[in-house]
Chain A
């Protein structure tokens, strides 16, 4: 995703179809936005910042996006989709729900630690970029709820149901924990939060003692 990975667009008679070039330009703009937002913050970033970082013209920007908000939303979708895939792949390597949850959390924290600009884009800027982006951000987090809710089956014949809002509360807590780190410029230290994440996720479903045991095992 980093803009350095993108070489100059092949000029003149190249082997790319028109569609491929356009797709590539869109990706460059998305990468350019991530770079520009990391430097200036979403509210101060201009379309010129984005096109400069992407090394494309304004005309190309407007051919792909109507506004910086639309470009931001596209960037958010790309990163969110990628993170979702990473988490699903990591989870698929494990057997039971608890280990799948820990593996997914580890994968997400490591990814954002390696990509601090994207961590800032997704976890800090997305909440300050206005109502449309904020609502997309909340929806992306809400999508994780069913995965957590699978943990309810682990409670076996527990006498009572967990409150309906358990998953939302746990996710909100984890988002705030991670966002504070990233906002403070400590994205690369996100993996240190794995024990907190694991215990927070597991405790409601497995109880404090078992959650602590699995967390120690994961550390």
Chain B
């Protein structure tokens, strides 16, 4: 593993364990088993290392979600696939997920801005669902961002409780939550049920 990668992984672990403020460069270089000079060759300071970690994580997450979403022809299946990919990426990288989803808001305004920007990328994937709702003109403009807020809230609960293994069980429930405002409870529950049957 190259040294930059080791630094990013150590940063993810430490921030996940104890938060951004309590993490020091000394801890990072020790955990990464690199020298200070190596750290400063790649990053100006702790925040820069964290932002690099965040950017990479966001790129991986949004990339995987969009890829899974694009593969399905029908909108509800697109959402199911996208959400499934999101939960998989998170479950496979619990430290990175905890650092970037739970702790990012404690790492300063730039990290908060980038994290919020990342979440905004998911809204356009949900919007086509409006076409399926006969009351679409009454849906609030904020619906998609708000739904993503609900999804991230329950995901964060699992991350904070070190229950990433439970993300799999959460997926059908979360899919139902996201689909319901667009297609109604019955169809949303049917889509969620199909997911449970398939896994």
Contact = CB atoms under 8 A, between A and B. Distances in A.
Nearest to B139: A199
Contacts, number: 99
**Which size class do A's interface residues fall under?**
20 to 34
A168 interface: yes
Interface stretch (A26-34, A53-61, A171-179): A171-179
A208 interface: yes
Given A203-B181, A207-B185, A131 B103 contact: yes
A148 to B, nearest CB: 12
Q: For the complex, would chain B's binding face be called helix, strand, loop or mixed by DSSP majority?
A: helix
A182 to B, nearest CB: 13
Nearest to A127: B105
B77 interface: no
A88 interface: no
Pick the most buried of B135, B174, B180, B192: most chain A CB atoms within 10 A of its CB: B180
Contacts of A174: 146, 149
A201 to B, nearest CB: 12
Interface in B74-112: 102-103, 105-106, 108, 112
A150 B180 CA distance: 20
B151 interface: yes
Contacts of A195: 140
A163 B135 CA distance: 24
12 contacts: A128-B105, A138-B160, A160-B189, A166-B177, A169-B177, A170-B150, A171-B153, A173-B150, A175-B153, A176-B148, A177-B145, A177-B149
Interface of B: 18-19, 21-22, 102-103, 105-106, 108, 112, 135, 138, 140, 142, 145-154, 156-157, 160, 170, 172-174, 176-177, 180-181, 184-185, 189, 192
Interface of A: 43, 127-131, 134-135, 138, 160, 163-166, 168-177, 180, 195-196, 199-200, 203-204, 207-208, 212
